[in-house]
Amino acid sequence: MSDAPRLRHQVCFALYSASKAATAVYRPVLDELGLTYPQYLVMLVLWEQEPRSVRELGAELGLDSGTLSPLLKRLEALGLVERHRSVEDERRVDVVLTDAGRELSSRAQAVPKRLADAAGLSTDEIEQLHATLGKLTAALQKSL
Amino acid sequence: MSDAPRLRHQVCFALYSASKAATAVYRPVLDELGLTYPQYLVMLVLWEQEPRSVRELGAELGLDSGTLSPLLKRLEALGLVERHRSVEDERRVDVVLTDAGRELSSRAQAVPKRLADAAGLSTDEIEQLHATLGKLTAALQKSL
DNA sequence: CACGATTGAGTTGTGCACAATTGAATTGTG
DNA sequence: CACAATTCAATTGTGCACAACTCAATCGTG
């Protein structure tokens, strides 16, 4: 019989679908902020701490300069960040928030709440999901 | 203090990272098959049942024609599928496997095993993760 | 100090994701 | 039957993801 792997049984597809559904839920909220989902992630990192080099942003998010360089250029065009060559190490580019970028933080408070509301999971389930995903991601990355 | 949402606490980021890590684990195996991850998903659906219209593929995978049309064109160029206008309804395009496309199924057996090996989770944890992701995705999609 | 190796950011090219639009085929309603 | 509304696939345009590459700055070793 069907010895072919089946879509619905694949955890990878469950991850892929859940991830897409989550960004779809965020989309309307992020639209109001004028951000895409990956841009929001970059802003999250910068709201925690700045300046951050492109390298550091990439390490936090698992993205390389091929993705970040144009993304940061767009955030700069939006007036949310500035990029400056580091003085100590001229290979590095430090990314800092502008006032507008910092102010966006308060408006972004509503973003994670939206997912929690839509998730339909208990706090326990959310926490367990979070923990399991963390274990999974760590194991997968180690296996590479 | 930090009233800004923090990256590490966000379930959405955990999903995003886990999904990226999973496709990264698949990448070398899929490279041997000459497929990308989304192309593999389309083949999974076709291995289960064919022919399938573009519309049906999109419904299974949550993708629209803007994504599928060029993807299917590439699968056709690889000689794995063929596309034919449906006779009953000429708006539809039916996608069928070629012999080469059908044969790829057996070589694809190794793909899901690779994730299971790398996951570092027990069967129980995998099943619970799968179930929770399913609940989450359904709830998120309903909320849109 | 010299110089090969490494690091960091950027660019190019390919492919996916999704919104918006187009155009043809079909359906539903008067 | 006519024709407006809907359905379906394809195209266009924007942005992300990642491999491969370039180039400059820095580091490590002799």
How many whole angstroms separate alpha carbon A23 and alpha carbon A60?
19
How many whole angstroms separate alpha carbon B54 and alpha carbon B76?
13
Q: What is the pLDDT of residues A94-120, one digit of tens each?
A: 999 999 999 999 999 889 888 888 888
Q: Which pair of structure tokens corresponds to residue B120?
A: 């570092």
CA A72 vs. chain centroid, Å, equals: 13
Whether B133 sits inside 8 A of A17 (CB atoms) is: yes
pTM: 0.92
Q: What is the pLDDT of residues B44-76, one digit of tens each?
A: 999 999 999 999 999 999 999 999 999 999 999
Q: Find the Å distance, CA of residue B99 to C1' of nucleotide D20.
A: 33
CA B123 vs. chain centroid, Å, equals: 22
- The partner residue sitting opposite B133, judged by closest CB among A18, A24, A41, is A18
Neighbours of A16 (CB within 10 A): 24
> Residue B139, CB half-sphere, CA atoms under 13 Å: how many?
16
Q: What is the pLDDT of residues A17-49, one digit of tens each?
A: 999 999 999 999 999 999 999 999 999 999 999
Q: Check whether residue A92 has its CB closer than 7 Å to nucleic acid strand C.
A: yes
Q: Find the Å distance, CA of residue A93 to C1' of nucleotide C12.
A: 21
Residue of B nearest to A4 (CA): B105
What dihedral angle (degrees, nearest 10) is formed by the CA atoms of A116, A117, A120, A121?
30
